[in-house]
Amino acid sequence: MTDSNVRAADRLDLLTAETSEGAQELQRRSSTNADELGREAGAVLRLDGLTLDPTSIDFDRRDDETMIINMGPAHPSTHGVLRLMLELDGEFVLRTKPIIGYLHTGMEKTGEELSYIQGGTNVTRMDYLSPVINELCYSMAVEKLLDIEIPDRAIWIRMLMSELNRISSHLVWMATNGMDLGASSMMIYGLRERELILAFFEKTAGLRLNLNYVRPGGVAADLPDGWQDDVLVICDTIYARTFEYDELLTGQPIFRNRMIGVAPLAAEEALALGVTGPLLRSTGVAWDLRRAMPYLAYDQVEFDVIVGTYGDNFDRYAIRLNEIRESIRIVRQCIEKMPSGDYRSQDPKVTPPPRARIGESMEALIHHFKLFTEGFQVPAGEVYSAVESPRGEIGCYIVADGTAKPYRMHVRAPSFVNLQAVSLLMRGGMMSDAITVISTIDPVLGEVDR
Amino acid sequence: MTSLSSTAPPGVITSEALAADLCCFPTLEQYVDLVASFRADGFEMCVDLCGVDYLEHFDRWLPEGVDATRFEIVVNLLSLSKKERVRIRVQAGDDAPKIDSLFALYPGTEAMEREVFDLFGILFTNHPDLTRILMPEDWEGHPLRKDYGAGRVPVQFKESPGPR
Amino acid sequence: MALEDLQHNFLTGPLEDIVRWARRASVWPASFGLACCAIEMMATGGADFDIARFGMEVFRNSPRQADLMIVAGRVSQKMAPVLRQVYDQMMEPKWVISMGVCASTGGLFNNYAIVQGVDQIVPVDVYAPGCPPSPETLMHAILTLHEQIRTGEILKRRHEGRPVHIDGAAELWTPEVPVAVRVGTPK
């Protein structure tokens, strides 16, 4: 707290000391050992002995020729509270080190204290741009541990909501990407389209964001009456507008110059770093969990997996734009093929009874009470279950010990692993390219830090 | 269970696993060689590396011949070419857990191992930069350990049983 | 907020009214979006819930040029000194809206990692509840703040803590002791 007796200069020193993260930051070259220099310089992939290439851009630099700059956590372009320390030689970036943890929420610890029904509310706030997919990952892991089947309608509703969420997440990406590159009208368009989807979410689940909709056993509520019309309006509108984005961005020379050929990623590098999602597909590897290891009903719908060629920024932009179109295609098929039936499993040990029956039946009241105070028991075991989020593979590793709360809940966040590619991609580029690189990696710091 | 086209080398205890094709339980000495053999066998990606503190659930099921310790490291590998997953669980130790780093095989484990060090206190030998990643640099303690409280602030009307 | 709010005409109106009108009609927020609430803040700035009609669409990235800090999202222990630093760099007069339950009280996350309420670090003027608060809630919070600006004293410095009288308020209000201006809760 400020004390008016403290002089401004002392306060500045104090605050600089308080916001410094010590050993987590980028150190001067002279005080960094060879192993770490090699890792930061991108020599991480030479697995047999570490020798820095003499023609490498950062081989022969003294400490006073370069500048270590901090792109602090409160920054407009870092997509959240990401802190980057850059070593700059004029305009060129030599080394980068991301420092994360500014949004660490202790969600894995909180997950151990919440029952399995409540766990969705926790997990949904990790990747706050695709909350339905977080919940889906968690619910599928719990259902595997419980070894229950969920009805077809629940599966298709989950798929519909996941794809709508994928569209809205990619729209936010296009909006923020446009904003980062200076096309601020793209920000307005992306958010405007997204409002259509959020209005549908609010109609179905009650909330626009962080909807606690997908739960173990099915979904929380059935789709509202007339949902086919609402969703068709969404599909038609957004599909037509993706062509407007093409006109605005894809062919525009300034956009192309800033994105084409910038920060290419090779397939071997991506696989070695554990990168998944559009970042991996931009390098040419056609890996999409919805196609390779289908879950829900993805093997019964037709869609294409979009793959890039050069792994540069433009490929990643094009992949996300076209994934919007592919998701719209899947949503249309969901509208046609949606089966009727229950929207959640009828197993009374897992699913709460309908509220109307609580006043009539004693068992319903008891089940409701037990499920919402204590929760359902899950037999002991461990599972790792993964789905495809707009950022990559999101996986949930749960260790159950037979009680009503998970013993250990760990979420494999795609942005956390993708962010390791930042050092590699920014190396040798210019400062302005650094912004576009962070933007196209599309990190969501909520899931990076958890 | 689908049949796995590659198997673990002899001497390593394996079992079936939920939502994975195989679960291996190497000892600390067998650990890196096992991962290297999987990597050579087509498992191009290390998807996840996390730690578990079994302090309060010490008697979890483990196959015959595996000595349970308090800390465990769980590694999930993925083969894109064969579309298979493999899980590897290593018993890392009780008091001063220490294990080899997989950085030389899978550079993508760098951030994951730092997170396990930060939140559990498990040391990784040969890791290039073992510093805290999620907590502030001067934080004391390892929050995800079971003997580290959740740090709840008392709230009126809310009864919290707290961690087990 | 238009000129008809002034008691007298433009040339003879009291200086305070003019200054208060200027201050509330163009409050520039400092972009301090942290988590999910930041997305709703961006949506408020978007076309459907336009805050540009209140003069606030310029999210100044430099705290030196900003008036309002909307703390949108959960504040972790590592972020707390950064938050204070950004707040200190803002020039007087400055206001703080605590958006969402995580910023107001710690919200869903009552644990070691989250500061239980951003008012432990900075003085807050308006709290907006919700997880996340919908854009309508955030706009109501902003309009409440505008009301506070419209009726507050302009020559009072925040640190001196002299109480300020709002017409119609039951008790005195000082910015250092935040009144729970609960948006949306009926009296």
Provide the domain limits for residue B6: 1-164
| Distance, CA of B31 to CA of B47 (rounded, Å) | 17
Q: Which chains pack against A, by 3+ Cβ pairs within 8 A?
A: B, C
Cα–Cα distance for residue pair A65/A81, rounded to 1 Å: 29
User: DSSP letter at A304?
Assistant: P
- Contacts of residue C168, defined as CB under 8 A and 6 or more positions apart, other chains included, come to none
Which DSSP helix (H) or strand (E) runs through A15? helix A8-19
For chain B, what is the domain count? 1
In 3D space, the residue among A237, A154, A158 whose CA is nearest the CA of residue A197 turns out to be A237
Q: Quick one: tokens of B83?
A: 């579309």
**CATH classification at residue B111:** 3.30.460.80
**E strands of A166-246, at which residues?**
214-215, 218-219
Q: What angle do CA A131, A136, A142 make, to 5 degrees?
A: 130
With an 8 Å Cβ cutoff, is B153 touching chain C? yes
Looking at the structure, do residues A72 and A153 belong to the same domain, yes or no? no
CATH number at residue C114: 3.40.50.12280
**Mean pLDDT of the region C154-165:** 49
Query: Closest to B45 (Cβ–Cβ): which among A21, A39, A274?
Result: A274
In a domain, A156, yes or no: yes
Same domain for A224 and A331, yes or no, is: yes
| Min Cα–Cα distance to chain B from A14, Å | 15
Spell A134-148 as b/e; 16+ CB within 10 A means b. Answer: bbbbbbbbbbbbbeb
- Chain C touching partners, 3 or more CB pairs below 8 A: A, B
Cβ within 8 Å, pair A209-C132: yes
Question: Two tokens at B98?
Answer: 């220490």
Q: Same domain for A36 and A171?
A: no
**C131 to chain A: closest CA residue:** A210
Cβ within 8 Å of C, B 115-144: 135-136, 139, 143
Instruction: Determine the Cα–Cα distance for residues C37 and C125; give it in Å rounded to an integer.
Output: 18
Task: Decide if C135 contacts C161 (C-beta within 8 A).
Answer: no
Cβ atoms within 10 Å of A228's Cβ, excluding its own: 13
Closest partner CB to C76 (pick from A1, A2, A104): A104
Find the closest chain A residue to C63 by CA distance: A74
**Domain end: A99, A127, A154, which one?**
A99
C111 contacts on A by Cβ (under 8 Å):
105-106, 109-110
Q: Does residue A170 lie within any of the structural domains? A: yes
User: What confidence tier does C180 reach under pLDDT thresholds 50, 70, 90?
Assistant: very low
User: What residues are paired with C82 via a beta bridge?
Assistant: none
Give yes or no: residues A177 and A52 share one domain. Answer: no
Q: Between chains, do B108 and A275 touch, taking CB under 8 Å as contact?
A: yes
Q: Are residues A242 and A365 in the same domain?
A: yes
- The 8-class DSSP code of residue C91 comes to P
The span from the CA of A425 to the CA of A93, in Å, is: 10
Judged by CB atoms within 8 Å, which residues 122-181 of A form the interface with C? 122, 125, 128-129, 172, 175
The answer to whether residue A405 is domain-embedded is yes
What percent of chain C is modeled with pLDDT above 90?
10
Residues 6+ apart with CB under 8 A from B30: B11, B12
Distance CA(C62)–CA(C60), nearest Å, equals 6
As for how many domains chain A has, the answer is 2
A290, A243: one domain? yes
Q: Is B149 on the interface with C (CB under 8 A)?
A: yes
Question: Which chain B residue shows the shortest CA-CA distance from C78?
Answer: B136
Q: How many CB pairs under 8 A join A and B?
A: 134
What are A299's two structure tokens? 């093997």
Rounded-to-integer distance, Cα C62 and Cα B150, Å: 36
Structural domain ending residue among the three candidates A48, A70, A99 = A99
- Domain with C145 in it: 18-160
- Min Cα separation A300/chain C (Å): 33
User: Is C130 part of any domain?
Assistant: yes
DSSP-based three-state secondary structure for C74: coil
The SS3 of residue A264 is coil
A48: helix, strand or coil: coil
**Helix %, strand %, coil % for chain B, to 5?**
15, 30, 60
Chains in contact with chain B (at least 3 beta-carbon pairs closer than 8 A): A, C
pLDDT of residue A37: 61
- Report pLDDT digits (tens) over C127-148: 999 888 989 999 999 988 888 8
C77 to chain B, any CB pair closer than 8 A? The answer is: yes
For A207, which DSSP code? -
For C110, the closest of B143, B148, B152 (CB atoms) is B152
Spans of chain A, pLDDT less than 70: 1-19, 29-63, 77-78
- Please state, for a pLDDT cut of 70, what percent of chain A lies above it: 88
In a domain, A425, yes or no: no
Question: What domain count does chain C have?
Answer: 1
Bridge-partner residues for A47, per DSSP? none
For residue A391, give the DSSP letter. Answer: T
- High-pLDDT (> 90) share of chain A, %: 34
User: Angle, nearest 10°, between helix axes A313-337 and A227-245?
Assistant: 160
User: E strands within A129-177?
Assistant: none
Cβ–Cβ below 8 Å for C112 and B153: no
The rounded distance, in Å, linking the Cα atoms of B148 and A87 is 37
Name the region of A398 (left: φ>0; alpha: ψ -120 to 50; beta: rest): beta
CA B18 to chain centre: 16
In a domain, C73, yes or no: yes
The CATH number of whichever domain residue A201 belongs to comes to: 1.10.645.10
Q: Report phi then psi at B48, rounded to 5.
A: -155, 145
Instruction: Please report whether residue C27 resides in a domain.
Output: yes
Q: Does the beta carbon of C110 lie under 8 angstroms from any beta carbon of chain B?
A: yes
pLDDT at C161 over 80: no
Q: Tell me whether residues C110 and B149 touch, CB distance under 8 A.
A: no
Cβ separation A293–B50 shorter than 8 A: no
pLDDT at position C183, please? 31
Q: Residue A58, SS3? A: coil
Name the residue facing B48 among A36, A397, A408 (closest C-beta). A397
Q: What is the pLDDT along chain B (164 residues), one digit of tens a residue?
A: 334 555 666 667 777 777 666 888 888 888 888 888 888 888 889 999 999 998 888 888 888 888 888 899 999 999 988 888 889 999 988 888 889 888 888 888 888 999 999 999 999 988 888 888 898 888 888 888 888 877 777 776 666 554 43
State the residue range of the domain holding A157. 107-412
Among A421, A420, A414, smallest CA distance to A134 is for A414
How much is the pLDDT for C166? 47
Residue A322 pLDDT? 92
Which chain B residues contact residue A292 at CB under 8 A? 80, 83
Pairing label, strands A392-400, A381-389: antiparallel
CB contact under 8 A, B56 and A407: yes
The model's pLDDT over B96-130, given as tens digits with 9 standing for 90+, comes to: 888 988 888 888 888 899 999 999 999 998 888 88
Structure tokens at A42: 């991108």
Q: Are residues A115 and A183 in the same domain?
A: yes
* Whole-model pTM over 0.90: no
Q: Do B152 and C106 touch (CB under 8 A)?
A: no
| Domain annotation covers residue C171 | no
The per-residue pLDDT for B74 is 92
